[in-house]
Amino acid sequence: MIRSIQLFFILAFCLLLLTCNKAIDAENNGIANTDYELKTIKETQAIIIEEHLKNGAWNYSYNSKEWQVEIDKGLAKDSTIAYLWQQKAMPLFKKGKYEKGMDYLDKAVTYDRQRWQDYRAFIKCIFAKTYREAILDFADYKNRYGDGYVMDHTYNFHIALSYLQLNEFEKAEEIFKKDNEKQLLNHGKDWLHPVDLFYYGISKYEQGKYEEAIELFNLSLEIHPKFSDVQYYKALCLVKLEAFDEAQKLMEIAETNGKQGFSFNEDNAIYERYPYQVRWK
Give the residue ranges of the chain where pLDDT is below 50.
1-32
**pLDDT for the residue 40:** 78
Within the chain, strands assigned E span: 149-150, 153-154
Report the C-alpha gap between 202 and 204 in whole angstroms. 5
Structural domains for the chain: 193-281 (1.25.40.10)
**pLDDT for the residue 17:** 35
Partners of residue 153 on adjacent β-strands: 150
Report the C-alpha gap between 194 and 191 in whole angstroms. 10
Contact 137, 124 (CB under 8 A): yes
Contact 117, 106 (CB under 8 A): no
**pLDDT for the residue 33:** 52
**pLDDT for the residue 39:** 76
pTM: 0.85
